[in-house]
């Protein structure tokens, strides 16, 4: 069985960066412009603006789900490490992982 090495510092840094990105996505919300009687070009530009809003929403969801995944991964790793140390009869605090 192959060994999987997880660097918790890298995960913490990634979570922090993703949380900052998510904050930018949330704070940068803009409304799509609407114009009455602007012609075909204006109508197409409104459609493009709406598509950008949809992309922004989906990016926010993707970043949020990635944050949740990494947080769950970190938690699961910590729990399995604690269990492994207990099974070996050691003290979790002395394992150097926490």
- Digit-coded pLDDT (tens) for 28-78: 877 776 677 778 888 888 889 889 889 989 999 999 999 999 999 999 988
85 inside domain: yes
Instruction: Check residue 93 and give its pLDDT.
Output: 56
Q: How is residue 47 written in tokens?
A: 């459609």
Decide if pLDDT at 80 tops 90.
no
Q: How is residue 32 written in tokens?
A: 């799509």
Among left, alpha and beta (phi > 0; psi -120 to 50; other), residue 29 is beta
Instruction: Check residue 71 and give its pLDDT.
Output: 94
Q: At what angle do helices 8-27 and 39-87 cross, to 10 degrees?
A: 150
In the chain, how many domains are there? 1
86 inside domain: yes
pLDDT confidence tier of residue 92, bands split at 50, 70 and 90: low
Instruction: Check residue 98 and give its pLDDT.
Output: 44
pTM of the model: 0.70
14 inside domain: no
Instruction: Check residue 81 and give its pLDDT.
Output: 84
Domain that holds residue 64: 38-98
8 inside domain: no
Spatial separation of the C-alpha atoms in residues 54 and 21, rounded to whole Å: 17
Decide if pLDDT at 3 tops 90.
no
95 inside domain: yes
29 inside domain: no
């Amino acid at each position: 069985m192959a060994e999987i090495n997880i660097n918790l510092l890298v995960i913490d840094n990634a979570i922090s960066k993703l949380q900052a990105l998510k904050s930018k996505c949330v704070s940068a919300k803009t409304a799509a412009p609407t114009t009455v009687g602007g012609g075909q070009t204006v109508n197409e530009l409104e459609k493009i603006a709406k598509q950008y809003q949809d992309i922004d929403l989906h990016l926010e969801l993707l970043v949020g789900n990635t944050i949740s995944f990494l947080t769950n991964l970190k938690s699961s790793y910590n729990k399995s490490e604690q269990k492994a140390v207990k099974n070996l009869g050691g003290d979790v605090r002395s394992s150097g992982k926490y």
